[in-house]
Amino acid sequence: MPARIEDVAAHAGVSTKTVSRVLNGYTNVRAKLRARIESSIHALNYVPNPSARGLAGNRSYLVALVYDNPLAGSSYTMELIVGVLQACKGTPYNAVLHPFEATDDLAAQIDGFVAQHRPDALVLVPPHANNARLLQRLDELDIRYSTISSKLRQSHIDVGFDERRAAAEIVEHLVSLGHRRIGHITGLRGHGAHAWRLSGYRDALRRAGIAYDESLVVAGDFTFPSGVEGAKALLNLRRPPTAIFAANDDMACGVMREAHERGLSIPGDLSVCGFDDTPASLVMSPGLTTVRQPCREIGCLAAESVLQSIRDPALRQQARVPYQLRLRESTAAPGKS
Amino acid sequence: MPARIEDVAAHAGVSTKTVSRVLNGYTNVRAKLRARIESSIHALNYVPNPSARGLAGNRSYLVALVYDNPLAGSSYTMELIVGVLQACKGTPYNAVLHPFEATDDLAAQIDGFVAQHRPDALVLVPPHANNARLLQRLDELDIRYSTISSKLRQSHIDVGFDERRAAAEIVEHLVSLGHRRIGHITGLRGHGAHAWRLSGYRDALRRAGIAYDESLVVAGDFTFPSGVEGAKALLNLRRPPTAIFAANDDMACGVMREAHERGLSIPGDLSVCGFDDTPASLVMSPGLTTVRQPCREIGCLAAESVLQSIRDPALRQQARVPYQLRLRESTAAPGKS
DNA sequence: GTCAAATCTACAAGCGCTGTCAACACAAAG
DNA sequence: CTTTGTGTTGACAGCGCTTGTAGATTTGAC
């Protein structure tokens, strides 16, 4: 039978109330007494019972990660999960996962989920992070939440990185190699990543004094097949691009596949770069030039902030974490094989 | 304020205890009364409070997925998670994740985790599923658990698939294409997957009347770099193999990388096949021939069984789920380009 | 030394549920 | 008609914690 708070109180010679104060981080306990209680906790190997705590305090000690059905992008989600778990470590909080089916009655779904599990806080991943109705419903329910890479310019907690600048940098890398005709396969419309990465692409062209050519930009949806299709469209142009910047790695892999099909060598005949640094980008041959998005840090920060906001409801924070260019073998100067 | 069991009882004109019986699936409630209570539950939109339930019933309604630090194999873990979540859906149970750091004091770690979160059940993934000391400790703590692909022939719940047979099948596929010199890069020693897949390889050779050649089998550790190294060793042989069966996809990707480095075309100069059907195997060029391991079903089944065993502690079950060969473009008859 | 503020104790209530056990209804048996 | 047994239902305590109140004690400032 595990120790109870009562046992700790008796062991330390204090009231249970004071032990409770220590457990919950109240500051009005004298340092000396606090130390004594903490050593009793340690001696008895005491860990508070989460159910009892939750029941009495009307809390669940649960943070839910709300993400899209993970058919695609599993490594992205997985990394976020690792980050969220890291943030929960050492706290009484536990992470639970909630993959939302992408349906219309999202409000109903969130209501059901909240009713059942009563999470104290949510971390929302795109596309849900961009769903204004959802956020509004959460506000109504008075549930704290943070978002990841939300394109909504709202006054809530959000964590992301400067995707526009990162996209610009990777395109500038292509420019610096000598490329002038650079194709772009966009992400799925509606995602912030679609607009930001496209804007970055245009920023880089503008700064390099290269005219924006609409025909070099084709629509993708972040999937491998859409990368293949995008590559087909671009490579079928009368004057095909010498480099293609795909808005994510899966599509970049699609581009590489199509290039191989056509017998084009990479990077000799075509430079390819992606975005996200998924595991696949490392195992591709050649290795894929991409942007490392620090998913773990993002997940960790998003969870930490939202937990902090439980104590301090006024907290509003727009954190931007650093990204890194990963230059690998899929990009080189044009026209040399 | 959400409805409480008391409200439901009042609405249905019964005692709270009877409502509780209905909620917990006790059979000794008359059908008519049960129906009335169920309609009251529905009418009031009642969902029991997990904390209260847990406190009163001395349960946590938590299933923990215990896996290795997810630096590698994130898609495998992710798929298992999806399966476990699926199994929890519609039950009062919730899934929590516990990535174990691979340290020596595993018993201490599990004790700490159990003390803090008090999960009702665990699902163990290799290599932890193979840790006899860990299982013993769980038995001592009287915590239900199930394992996934455990190589321990113990009397507990385990879910997996016939890896040996699957490995044999994929090697037979190579044989049927005309390959006689087939290399194998093994997995990490200690994992069941190491032994089973190697055994399958040998089974296939034996059945094809091909002598087992030790020099064609090199040790890997399931990582991409070890695949590269393994490929180097095999391709440097005086008589290199015409096909390589890597014990997982990551290593197969490493083989493809090395082949590309050497200017060997796949499958023209070298056939490659992997195992697991990770997302990368689909985006590789050419697509990788591999074995689909039904991770979701496995995770789901493992969680379902262990939840069932909470009610029925006598439950022992060794489930084998079906696998599928995925024949893609990385394998072909030898010697034709 | 005095007084207010800060700290601490004791105790009770109660969070929402389930377990225990007793009560009850109803059928079959005597 | 009573007795016994079986199945169904209810009353109530209590799970382990937090919160609140009222009062005791200590502390530090003056």
Rounded to a whole number, what is the distance in angstroms from the first to the last CA of chain B? 71
- Token pair recorded at residue B213: 């050649």
Written as six digits, the tokens of A213 are 């050519």
Q: Above 90 in pLDDT, residue A337?
A: no
* Tokens representing residue B295 in the block: 């991770």
Residue A161 CA to residue A295 CA, distance in Å, equals: 10
CA A112 to chain CA centroid, Å, is: 24
> Taking CB atoms and an 8 Å cutoff, what residues of chain A touch B75?
74-75, 78, 279
Number of domains in chain B: 3
Peptide bond into A240 cis (omega under 30): no
Q: Is the CB of B91 under 7 A from strand C?
A: no
Least reliable range by pLDDT among A141-145, A311-315, B164-168: A311-315
Phi then psi dihedrals of residue A43, to 5 deg:
-60, -40
Return the bridge partners of A123, or none: A65, A146
The answer to the question of residue B54 being in a domain is no
Residue finishing a domain among A269, A292, A315: A292
Q: How confident is the model at residue A303 (pLDDT cuts 50, 70, 90)?
A: very high
User: A208-242 pLDDT, tens per residue?
Assistant: 999 999 999 999 999 999 999 999 999 999 999 99
Name residues of chain B where pLDDT drops below 50.
337
Residue B55 covered by a domain: no
List Cα–Cα distances, A195 to A44, A104, A189, A211, B178, in angstroms: 56, 23, 8, 19, 51
Residue A210 to residue A218: CA distance in whole angstroms: 18
Distance, Å, A305 CA → D28 C1': 37
Q: Are B151 and B192 in contact (CB under 8 A)?
A: yes
Nearest-Cα distance to chain A for B19, in Å, is 17
* Nearest nt (C1') from B4 Cα: C16
* Closest listed residue to residue B97, CA positions, set A122, A83, A127, A70: A83
Q: Are residues A210 and A272 in the same domain?
A: yes
> If DSSP codes are grouped into helix, strand and coil, which group holds residue A182?
strand
Same domain flag for B302 and B286: no
- Extract the runs of DSSP E, i.e. beta strands, from chain B: 62-68, 94-100, 121-124, 144-148, 157-160, 182-185, 217-218, 243-246, 271-273, 290-292, 318-320, 324-326
User: Residue A26, CA: closest nucleotide via C1'?
Assistant: C7
Q: Would you list which residues of chain A are within 8 Å, Cβ to Cβ, of chain B?
A: 2, 45, 47, 49-55, 60, 62, 70, 74-75, 77-79, 81-82, 85, 94-97, 99, 115-118, 224, 250, 253-254, 256-257, 260-261, 279-280, 282-286
pLDDT at residue A139 greater than cutoff 80: yes
Residue B82 phi, psi (nearest 5): -55, -45
- Distance, in Å, from the CA atom of A130 to the CA atom of A324, rounded to the nearest integer, reads 25
pLDDT, tens digit, for every residue of A184-212?
A: 999 998 888 999 999 999 999 999 999 99
Q: What is the pLDDT of residue A221?
A: 92
- For strand D, the positions having any atom within 7 A of a protein Cβ are 7-12, 14-21, 27
Say how far apart CA A151 and CA A146 lie, in whole Å. Answer: 13
A243 and A143 together in one domain: no
CATH code of the domain covering residue A23: 1.10.260.40
In-domain check, residue A57: no
Share of chain A above pLDDT 70, in %: 97
Domain span at B194: 163-292
**Region for residue B73 given its phi and psi (left: phi exceeds 0; alpha: psi -120 to 50; beta: otherwise):** left
Residue of B nearest to A141 (CA): B1
- Claim to verify: residue B32 and residue B66 sit in the same structural domain: no
Q: Indicate whether B299 and B156 sit together in one domain.
A: yes
- Token pair belonging to B322: 């079906």
**Measured between CA atoms, how close is B178 to chain A, in angstroms?**
25
Whether A332 is covered by a domain: the verdict is no
The CA distance from A297 to A282, in Å, is 20
The verdict on a CB contact (< 8 Å) between B283 and A253 is yes
Residue B328 domain-assigned? no
Same domain, A150 and A183: no
- Structure confidence at residue B104 (pLDDT): 66
Band (A336; pLDDT cuts 50, 70, 90): low
* Angle between helical axes of A31-44 and A16-23 (0-180°, round to 10): 90
Per-chain mean pLDDT for chain A: 91
pLDDT on residue A70:
57
Instruction: Report, as an integer, the average pLDDT of A73-85.
Output: 87
One domain for residues A187 and A271: yes
CATH number at residue B131: 3.40.50.2300
Tell me what pLDDT residue B26 has: 86
Chain A span 23-42 residues with beta carbon within 7 Å of strand C: 27-30, 32-33
Contact (CB, 8 A) for A78 and A137: no
In this structure, of A70-74, A132-136, A234-238, B265-269, the range with the lowest mean pLDDT score is: A70-74
Q: Quick one: pLDDT at residue B305? A: 94
In a domain, A333, yes or no: no
- Tokens of residue A122, six digits: 């949510």
pLDDT over 70 percentage in chain B: 97
Query: Residue B330 domain-assigned?
Result: no
**In B, which residues are within 8 Å of A117 by CB distance?**
50, 94
Residue B228 is assigned to a structural domain of this protein: yes
Do A302 and A312 fall into the same domain? yes
What SS3 state is found at B243? strand
Footprint of strand D on the protein (CB under 7 A): A 1, 4-6, 16-17, 19-20, 23-24, 30, 46, 48-49, 52-53, 55-57; B 13-18, 21, 27-30, 33, 55-56, 58
| B301 and B277 within one domain | no
- Indicate if B170 and B274 belong to the same structural domain: yes
| Euclidean distance between the first and the last CA atom of chain A, given in angstroms as a whole number | 71
What are the tokens at B69? 């630090």
B171 and B282 together in one domain: yes
> Chain A to chain B, count of Cβ pairs less than 8 Å apart?
117
Measured distance CA(B328)–CA(B249) in Å, rounded: 13
- Residue A240 has a CB neighbour count (10 Å cut-off) of 17
Question: In angstroms, rounded to a whole number, what is the distance separating the alpha carbons of residues B125 and B129?
Answer: 5
- CA geometry: angle A249, A255, A260, nearest 5 deg: 130
Give A116 to chain B, closest Cα distance, Å: 6
pLDDT tens per residue, range A244-286: 999 999 999 999 999 999 999 999 999 999 999 998 888 888 9
Q: Does one domain contain both A98 and A176?
A: no
